[in-house]
Structure formats: structure tokens, C-alpha cells
Amino acid sequence: MLNRLNDIEKKYDELTNLLSDPDIIGNQAEFQKHAKAQAALEDTVSAYREYKDVLKQLEDVKSLLAEDLDAEMQEMAELEQDELLAKKEKLEADLRILLLPKDPNDEKNVIMEIRAGAGGDEAALFAGDLYKMYTKYAEHQNWKTEVLSASYTDIGGFKEIIFMIEGHGAYSRLKFESGVHRVQRIPTTESGGRIHTSTATVAVLPEAEEVDVEINPNDLRIDIFCSSGPGGQSVNTTQSAVRITHLPTGIVVSCQDEKSQHKNKDKAMKVLRARLLEKAEQEALGEIASERKNQVGTGDRSERIRTYNFPQGRVSDHRIGLTLHKLESILLGDLDALIDALIMEDQARKLKESF
């Protein structure tokens, strides 16, 4: 582990020197590339330097304890040694996690797709609740959200909503949200007071840059049509809606929320790139069956991952056996306890595999 950390620190110092090179500063593309690489190593190098400092302090304390000390000095030195040993142990645990292989998508923005599942109108209302929950969480994180495409129902909620979340590390925090979310509650349309079970499907896709996915324009069929649904007269009567079909895969993306055909096309292309990147990554994961079987869950849309039970005020994540009796605050975006537990479970599995 120490050899790897030495190599990382050396690489970090090399990047620091490059970032002060006038030739690199004058080339913004090169500068950004090196700055991004340096930032990715910063947490690890900072923890390693703190760890080396603790080791040095421990050596100093051991040397002190080898001397002939009075009782008070002896007690103070032993207390300091115990504190340093505890700090050393924690830093070693932190460094093991920092050395785990990084998901290359972790720092990317996110495209989330929420679709109503089983349950009719109640499923659409639940899809709306999930959308509010994730946008509230994004607000807490100071992330930006933007709706890319939405299909509404008459009583509220969504048949489908696709939106982007822009923010540092958004994918690293939200990637475990993919799957089937289940709600158990009495619908507003239910006169008999019976509890119904409905579902909505969430897909979390890392935003794909043009360099991540190469799309041949000849592989696209682009259809222009009039928008429908909410949006006012101009949206509903102008030829602004865009539907893009990727012929080799059959993936179809529609966008009609903007009055501008150009803006709708840009949004649709963002979703298409994200879906193509997801498809390529899922195919790669499919070749590693054991990895797919063991992972906490970052992409299987058919996997039931969580239940929101209103009568008992609880939320249960079935993958890690965690139940929290704080349904109201979770639906208001208080997701950190759930997300942190999922990340810790994933890290524990990776640590076990690395040994």
C-alpha cells in the first residue's frame, strides 16, 4: 500500500509542476486535463501526507518514552501515543478506501429517468413524489436541475420525466438509486381506505460527453412534430418537438418541453448519448457475471430496491436491509443516511474483494 501511495504522491507533484509551466497554462485544454487529474489525487495525497506526519509524531513519542521521565510526563506521553495510534488506524482505513478503483463516471452530472410503473394514476403520482424528492436533495447539495422531457397525467404526476442534475460528484451519490421503487399507501382516489401498492422505475445515467460516445449522424432519424400537453399555445402549435431514433440500437428519444426546436434537439441528444453510454457499460458488465451479481446495484431497472410505507412512516432499502422511520423527511430530500449506507456497503464489498 505504501508503494502505491508513494507513486501517487510523486504523480501529484509532477502534475503540480506541470500546472505552473507557462506552456501548459497557455494551452487551456492541456491545463484542464492536468488540473482534473491532480484534483482526482488530492484527497489521497492529503490523507497520505497526514498519515506520514502521524508516523513521524509516533516515532518522536516513542523516543520520548524511552527516556527517564517523571510520572506526569510519562502519563502525558502515553496518552499522546494512544491518540496517535488511533489516528493512524483511522487514516489507514481511509487510505484503503481511497485506493479502491474509482468509477470513471463518479464526477459526472446525472440524467435521471423516472417512469410510472404498476398502479395507474397512483404510480404517476408516486413518480412525481420521487421527482420532488430528488430535486429537493439536489437543492440541499447546491446542484442545478433541468427538466429534459416530461409526460404529464391529468391528475398530476408523471407518466415519465427525464431531468438532469448538474453538480460535483452527482453520479457518485445517486448511482445506487436505479431500480424499482415501491410505495404502499392509501391513494387519494381510494374511497374504501384500502392500502394500495404501486411502483415507479428510476434510471440514473451519467451524462455522456461527445468524446464518450461517438454517434454517426447517418445512424439518426430525426422527426419534427407539434408538441402536446402543458406549455401554452405556442408550444402546442409550432413544429418544435423532436424525436430522434438511433437506427442501429432502436433507441428512441423525444423532447418537446422547449419552444425552440434547436433546444429540444440538444436535450434529446444529451439523453441519447447517456442511454448509449449506459448500453455500452451494461454490455461490458454482462461479460463479468460475478461482478454484476455482487454489486449493490447501479443499473438493473427490474430490481426492486426500496419500499416507501406510508402507514408505518418507514422507508426500507432491500439491498442492504436498512429501514429508517423517517419517511416524511426522506421525501423532502433527506437522503444522506440512505446514500451513505449504500456507499459504505459497496466500499466494504470492494475492500473484501481487494484482499
CATH of segment(s) 110-211+290-354? 3.30.70.1660
Question: pLDDT confidence of 232, banded at 50, 70, 90?
Answer: very low
Question: pLDDT confidence of 80, banded at 50, 70, 90?
Answer: very high
Region class of 124: left (phi > 0), else alpha (psi between -120 and 50), else beta: alpha
Amino acid at 227: S
Q: What are phi and psi of 155, to 5 degrees?
A: -95, 5
Asked whether the beta carbons of 308 and 200 are under 8 A apart, the reply is no
**What is the average pLDDT score of the chain?**
86
**Is the pLDDT score of 313 beyond 90?**
yes
Question: pLDDT confidence of 285, banded at 50, 70, 90?
Answer: low
Position with higher pLDDT, 247 vs 282: 247
Closest C-alpha to 165, from 150, 148, 143, 149: 143
Q: Average pLDDT of 150-175?
A: 91
> Model confidence over 32-41: pLDDT tens digits?
889 988 988 9
- The residue assigned the cell 517523571 is 70
Q: Which CATH number fits domain 217-285: 3.30.160.20, 3.40.50.10420, 3.30.1180.20, 1.20.1250.20?
A: 3.30.160.20
pTM of the predicted structure, to 2 decimals: 0.71
**Is the pLDDT score of 291 beyond 70?**
no
According to the model, what pLDDT value does residue 284 have? 67
**Is the pLDDT score of 333 beyond 60?**
yes
State the burial class of residue 236 (Cβ atoms within 10 Å of its Cβ: 0-12, 13-18, 19+).
Answer: middle
Q: Where is average pLDDT lowest: 170-179, 209-218, 271-280? A: 209-218
Q: Which residue ranges make up each domain of the chain?
A: 2-98, 110-211+290-354, 217-285
